[in-house]
Amino acid sequence: MLKQKTFDMDAYVAQITAGSCFICEIVAGNPDYPHHLIYEDEKAVVFLNKYPSLYGYVLVSPKAHREQVTGDFTLPEYLDLQELIYKVTEAVRKVVPAERVYLLSLGSRQGNSHVHWHIAPLPPGVPFLEQQLEALRVTDKILDVPENEMALLAKKIGSALSNL
């Protein structure tokens, strides 16, 4: 079982509400926004959540800054992105043991406005009252996954994705 480390929620909220769009910065290759990249093409980017509450937690986003989960896409664009999300979810399921994989889009115009989807694998054996929204909740602790393990996990998920 992975240890947890402290997480400064106040600093995080300040960063996402007043700082640059973190996804746009990742897409631009800004070294101040390091993430473990799993996959990218001309339209989308897939990377590990830097602040995971669950092991293997992945984010999928269009490269273009879009804010509405459906309204900023044509139907073909949306369906192409959903196909990628499906494949990434299946890759995560192949690499990370999961009782269930949560798939959702979060964010708001006040913070994390660049639309993205969360793919969060719930490990087997988590008691019911600690599942669902409780499993995703971040207050003052996140998983302490060493950088080398994050890099290996990103590589494994990427490899599983390329085999789909």
For tokens 């994050």, what's the residue?
150
Average confidence score pLDDT of the chain: 96
Say whether pTM exceeds 0.75: yes
| Residue-wise pLDDT tens digits, 2-45 | 899 999 999 999 999 998 999 999 999 999 999 999 999 999 99
- Angle between helix 75-95 and 147-162 (nearest 10): 120
- Can you tell me the distance from the alpha carbon of 154 to that of 151, in angstroms, rounded to the nearest whole number? 5
Predicted pLDDT at 1? 66
113 pLDDT exceeds 90?
yes
Predicted pLDDT at 19? 85
> Within 13 Å and on the Cβ side, how many CA atoms surround 140?
0
Q: Is 112 left (phi over 0), alpha (psi -120 to 50) or beta?
A: left
- Can you tell me the distance from the alpha carbon of 153 to that of 159, in angstroms, rounded to the nearest whole number? 10
Predicted pLDDT at 2? 80
Query: Sign of the CA dihedral 105, 110, 114, 119?
Result: negative
106 pLDDT exceeds 80?
yes
| Residue-wise pLDDT tens digits, 51-94 | 999 999 999 999 999 999 999 999 999 999 999 999 999 999 99
